[in-house]
Amino acid sequence: MSTSRACPRAGCAPHRRHVQIVFQDPYRSLNPRRTVGASIIEGPINFGLPRPTRMNRARRLMALVGLAPDALDRYPHQFSGGQRQRIAIARALAMEPQLLIADEPVSALDVSVQAQVLKLLDDVRRRFDLAVLFITHDLRVAAQICDRIAVMQRGVVVEQGSTAEVFAAPEARYTRALFEAAPGAMPSSARGGRRVRRASTARRQLLHGNAMLEEATAGSRQRVDAAHESGRIRHATTRWAWPSWSPKSR
């Protein structure tokens, strides 16, 4: 069945404001020809929100995501990657959604900024009582933000459960392969009681590696963000990102 037939345009319209998305790449998800303020209020404009109300909401959301409200008149290239992703989150929240879909929202960011954006997502989830569908290939990220995890292989859910259960004793072969593909994990020859220890060890290694890289890159990112705030540079050209990995990459 086609998407248009399953959900006609007129029938979907009332539901769009209740489901919003934060895309993977903050360098492409914002229109470079529009101010960030215009991007944030675009959705409320489409749903007829009065101008004073939508501008007040935009200023409030900029403050909520940790950016200056008077920056609404600036353009995306004047912000760093982490700041752009914060703006993308503010744009999604402007519609006051019930479900927020976060599609690899930190994979294009360096590790120190990843931690900041993840904390922000967790804060807004609690503040607005949001349901969040977080899509990621990074087990470290899943461990930090998710209450429940569903592991998909070729479009099929092969395992699901609470984060603690999946990390402590993964049942599906594909889930175990993901843990084994993590750098420093125990070899696949481990069996029996060592499986639980292997999963727990992998989780600790993932989180420990994340913390080490956060510390190593925090200074550099702070200098870049400070330069942005002072106007000394127009945009950052340096990015750090974890490489994608899968069982096939070993």
pLDDT in tens, 68-93: 999 999 999 999 999 999 999 999 99
Least confident span in 7-11, 155-159, 163-167, 223-227: 223-227
Sole residue written with tokens 């990102």 = 241
pLDDT in tens, 24-55: 998 899 999 999 999 999 999 988 888 889 99
pLDDT for position 16: 80
> What SS3 class is residue 161?
strand
**How many angstroms from the chain centroid is the CA of residue 164?**
20
Phi and psi, residue 34, nearest 5°:
-120, 145
pLDDT for position 244: 40
Q: How far apart are CA 96 and CA 44, in angstroms?
A: 9
pTM over 0.75: no
- Higher pLDDT among residues 57 and 232, named by residue: 57
